Amino acid sequence: MTEPHELTAVEQAAALRTGELGAVELVEHALRRIERLDPTLAAFVTLTPERALDAAHAAEKLLVAGSSATAELPALLGVPTAIKDLALTAGVRTTFGSALYADFVPDVDDDAARLLTAAGTISLGKTAVPEFGLPPYTEPAGRPATVTPWDTGRLAGGSSGGAGAAVAAGMIPFAHGTDGGGSIRIPASVCGLVGLKTSRGLVSRGPAGGDPLGLSVSGPLARTVVDAAAMLDALAVPVPGEPFTRQDAGGPSFVEAARRAQPGRLRIGRYARPMLPGLPVDPACLAAYERASELLTELGHEVVDGVDTGIDPEFVTVFETLWAVLAHSVPVPPGAEGTLLPLTQWWRALGSAVSGPEFLAAAQAAHNASRRIITAHRAVDVMLTPTLAQLPRPVGWFTEGGDPAEDYARQQAFTPFTAIYNVTGQPALSLPLGWTRPAPDQPTLPVGVQLVGAPGADRLLLELGASLEAAAPWADRHPPTW
């Protein structure tokens, strides 16, 4: 008999509707898997079993009462998930990955957490993040590193590293993430998942904010494209007062689009050269990129090289200025800077040195670059790149020298393809289309590719992603920890 964790989120929702599974049974099963696997993976920073079981009992009552009118029930009623620890959760500890906030319990939910609850999902707790979500790996102070289930000596990425590890290990079928420079797509690539950085404005980042430029967005991490689409349907609910224009191309629900998986014949540009000169791309990342190109061609799309990306290497300096200032988005009491990790202190010191006029100039330069890049991308429907330039990094690799500047240089070499599209606000989807074994005695690792659409083209990316998943399925591949 199929174990509950082997079902996708959508399959779990259907089994709950028919009574094949009970919500309490499902939550208890997930909690047992967390108890067994999390000491190795360090995916969760806070667990809320009592709250989850209370919610499961309430869900069961609704499922029984609504069995003759299931259409009126929330679409994902009773399905377990988890919330990234950068998102506020009322009554549940939110640490932002920092020892400074180890005991902080907010009294308000982020809109993403609220909307997922409204859709019927049951959060089992908060997933691990690096301090303030700044680096693309998850090694918070005072906690073990979060590792990929495919090779527990390698990092799960960041900043949604805990979310990626939890989903890839089958603790939960899908999870909430945020992405300000690649933080959904990076864990998706190294954990063998689907990860969607949504279009700016599609999912509310309220009510607290903290990123007035809109670099960071909420989105799903899942094992299948349909599951990612199901979570996006729950999250993409208009919220009054959201400061960014919602650029949704319209059409069926995201789940319906993913199930249809018929995006039409598309013109797909591609590039695999990082904007910073001299950065190498691992052969396995290039092989996944080439394999994706072959699959797209086989599906009838036109794949073209040499398309102008509109990307200027000076873009890196602009992003760094903005990122340094945004390192101050989490308040730090006077005199407490010394309690932060060296990388966090380094970024915040750089941000403090940026004057108001310099920040304004960088923000304007970012807008100008976005116009140029989005205009250039109009020559194609979708752009294809590797998600990352390297395979998952060993635990401690980024921080081993003790120099934050060297740490950041290694981050740039690891993920040179993702942050561009946080600045432009375009949707970007990472898919696990590559697989490699670095050495005969080492486990197989997943390798992601990135598909980028025009602003508001999230639905198109999900349709295209679902068609690629049908052509080269990955959901039945499981890590050794499974």
Catalytic residue among 98, 123, 126, 159: 159
Sequential DSSP letters for 119-145: TT-EEEEEE---GGG-SSS---TTSPP
What gap in Å lies between CA 70 and CA 65, rounded to an integer? 9
Q: Length of the chain in residues, anyone? A: 482
Maximum Cα interatomic distance, the chain, rounded to a whole number of Å: 63
CA 1 to chain centre: 31
Catalytic status, residue 430 = no
- From its phi and psi, is residue 201 left (phi > 0), alpha (psi between -120 and 50) or beta? left
Q: Sign of dihedral through CA atoms 218, 224, 229, 231?
A: negative
- From its phi and psi, is residue 291 left (phi > 0), alpha (psi between -120 and 50) or beta? alpha
8-39 CB burial, b ≥16 within 10 A, e <16: bbbbbbebbbeeebbbbbbbbbbbebbeebbe
Give start and end residues of each alpha helix (H) in 130-265. Answer: 161-168, 185-191, 225-235, 254-260
Catalytic residue among 123, 183, 199, 216: 183
Residue 459 CB contacts under 8 Å (≥ 6 apart), including other chains: 248, 249, 251, 252, 254, 257
What gap in Å lies between CA 137 and CA 38, rounded to an integer? 17
Catalytic status, residue 84 = yes
The residue among 30, 22, 133 whose CA lies nearest residue 82 is 30
Pairing of strands 147-148, 151-155: antiparallel
φ, ψ for residue 327 (rounded to 5)?
Answer: -65, -15
Sequential DSSP letters for 236-290: ----TT-SS-------S-HHHHHHH----S-EEEE----SSTT----HHHHHHHH
Is cis: bond before 159, omega within 30 of 0?
A: yes
What gap in Å lies between CA 190 and CA 414, rounded to an integer? 11
Pairing of strands 194-197, 174-179: unpaired
Residue 243 CB contacts under 8 Å (≥ 6 apart), including other chains: 209, 212, 214
Residue 47 in tokens: 């667990």
Residue 479 CB contacts under 8 Å (≥ 6 apart), including other chains: 148, 149, 150, 168, 169, 192, 443
Catalytic status, residue 183 = yes
Residue 295 in tokens: 């699959």
Catalytic residues, by residue number, are: 84, 159, 183
